[in-house]
Amino acid sequence: LLLTFAICRLIVTVGLTLDPTDLLRLGGATAAVAVGGVQLSVDQSDLESASMDFGMLTRAEPLAVLHPSSAADVARLVKAAYTSAQAFTVSARGHGHSINGQAQTNNGVVIQMSGSGAGGRKRVGARPGPPRVFEKEMFVDVWGGELWIDVLKSTLEHGLAPKSWTDYLYLSVGGTLSNAGISGQAFNHGPQISNVHELDVVTGKGEIFTCSEEENTELFHGVLGGLGQFGIITRARISLEPAPQRVRWIRVLYSNFSSFTGDQEYLISLHGQPDAQKFDYVEGFVIVDEGLINNWRSSFFSPRNPVKISSINGGNGGVLYCLEITKNYHESTADTIDQEVEALLKKLNFIQTSVFTTDLPYVDFLDRVHKAELKLRSKGLWDVPHPWLNLFVPKSRIADFDKGVFKGNLGNKTSGPILIYPMNKNKWDQRSSVVTPDEDVFYLVALLRSALDIGEDIHSLEYLSNQNRQILRFCDDAGIKVKHYLPHYTTQEEWMDHFGDKWGQFHQRKMEFDPRHIMATGQRIFKVSS
Ligand code: FAD
């Protein structure tokens, strides 16, 4: 079967009872065969794009690519893979924005879930339906490959929007729900996986199930944060809220780390007080680079509004921390927003001369990173290797992390932004597959670096990868029990360690929902069983 796929670099149609002999009968070079109605592309450009991801660190070319037009297409292909005498792998690929080949496979089929709509690559042929908004019930049903930017556009037409976001919206719903989906709203609403009512999932046996808190609960909780291991999300029902119209977006600076984290922790503690005034988004980042504050994630500190670190901290070259907060509002309440923000800022301990404020439409705030993407693309700085490191660090050790990493082995060139913000563990459903540190509050620390070949060692892939290893070694040596977000390991022992107490359950779910281990093998957790 695999050999046949490799030979047929054309269009092949595969049936329910995909059997090597069926395909061999095709003669290897025919354009299409009507066996069951699932059309696989072996077009070189499809294979090429499924071979790569945002990380640009690994490459694996699949044997074929499926552009499904429905959940039934997905189910037919998976069933064929599952029932075939020699199992082949199937990897859902959303927008391919993984770092380490998580959506790749080199001995099977990539199911290209995203690929049409405003945000996706255009393609011919039928596509799954657009998002369907249920205004009264305040939720939206979306195809698993839908990009969040398109979900936002659809829901805004009804004056509604999802509650929990990622910083960047050109990611697929299935892709972020397979991890968690976090941003500055997570302290209040939880990650995206805490804002899902229901899913349709094609399991590794090729069966389609609807699952939720009430129905097929094991599958529901397993798939959320499940790294694509138990099934392919074909539909997600996502919770909505009335969409704000505008955002007051504020950045303030700190030179003292404990004041910075103290304020962040205070702000996220307000989530438990429904009537309290609070910010809607709490993030932050670390500034160790010398010179202009330079954050590719937005043009907030623009050339019109330049900030010299030296002018803030007296030129001592130390590390600065930037708290980033927003308050959403409706135009009808615009007259009170100034007072509300002022009252909240009064309780914080930032450097008083360092308040930077802007005001913009809600959609522009949510889509802020895309602007930076376009800028980087125009300079050829987007399609470069990305040795990212994303860690969840327990609150009790974040000061040690600061000393050892931000003020320690990081140096003064970081090759990209470093995000740091806390979240409340009680907003994370422990029944999901995702693992977080064992404390009520933990931080995301995200080193979002780009490796550049510009002659200086400190920007090279090797240098940055080494630095990542040093950071992990430091955490190990110092006994800081970090958990990786968007994890990447190469051995099952490392995965067992990552999941800790949850490994038994994770393994059991795998045996139940994907017994031949054919799904999302790019995660390198399980080996295909013949
Ligand atoms: P892919 O890379 O295509 O797939 C990722 C994994 O999910 C693969 O294992 C794949 O098999 C599986 N998968 C894909 N679709 C499905 C499906 N329908 N059903 C089941 N499994 C599926 N993450 C955050 O949480 N917050 C952020 O703010 C954030 N910002 C980012 C900014 C950028 C510029 C980038 C590149 C990434 C960012 N991420 C962020 C990480 C991102 O959420 C993950 O990498 C996510 O997996 C990317 O989605 P994707 O659609 O590209 O997934």
Would you say 114 and 172 are in contact if contact means Cβ atoms under 8 Å apart? yes
pLDDT tier for residue 12 given thresholds of 50, 70 and 90: very low
- Distance, in Å, from the CA atom of 78 to the CA atom of 63, rounded to the nearest integer, reads 15
- In this structure, of 76-80, 117-121, 500-504, 522-526, the range with the lowest mean pLDDT score is 117-121
Provide the mean pLDDT of the chain. Answer: 89
pLDDT digits (tens, 9 = 90+) for 333-365: 899 999 999 999 999 999 999 999 999 999 999
Q: Is 206 in the pocket of ligand 1 (CB under 6 A)?
A: no
pLDDT tier for residue 103 given thresholds of 50, 70 and 90: very high
Between the two ends of the chain, the Cα-to-Cα distance in Å is 13
Residue with the nearest Cα to atom 47 of ligand 1? 175
Which residue ranges does the chain devote to CATH 3.30.465.10?
132-242
CATH class of 132-242: alpha beta
What's the mean pLDDT in 14-26?
A: 40
- Distance from residue 512's CA to the centre of ligand 1 (Å): 24
Q: Is 216 in the pocket of ligand 1 (CB under 6 A)?
A: no
What's the mean pLDDT in 51-65?
A: 97
- Distance, in Å, from the CA atom of 11 to the CA atom of 46, rounded to the nearest integer, reads 11
- Distance, in Å, from the CA atom of 306 to the CA atom of 438, rounded to the nearest integer, reads 40
**Catalytic site includes residue 167:** yes
Q: Which of 263, 283, 324, 402 is catalytic?
A: 283
Residue with the nearest Cα to atom 34 of ligand 1? 168
pLDDT at 23 exceeding the cut of 90: no
**Catalytic site includes residue 283:** yes
DSSP H helical segments within 367-499, as ranges?
A: 368-378, 398-401, 461-478, 492-499
Angle between helices 503-513 and 492-499 (to 10 degrees): 120
Statement: 2-112 belongs to CATH 3.90.420.10? no
**Catalytic site includes residue 157:** no
Which residue ranges does the chain devote to CATH 3.30.43.10?
2-112
Phi, psi of 235 (to 5 degrees): -145, 140
- Distance, in Å, from the CA atom of 372 to the CA atom of 350, rounded to the nearest integer, reads 27
Which residue ranges does the chain devote to CATH 3.40.462.10?
246-484
DSSP H helical segments within 67-162, as ranges?
A: 71-83, 148-156
pLDDT at 413: 78
Report the side by side order of strands in the sheet with 320-329: 355-361, 246-254, 320-329, 281-287, 418-424, 441-447, 389-394, 483-484
Q: Which of 53, 73, 95, 97 is catalytic?
A: 97
| Architecture, CATH, for domain 246-484 | 3-Layer(aba) Sandwich (3.40)
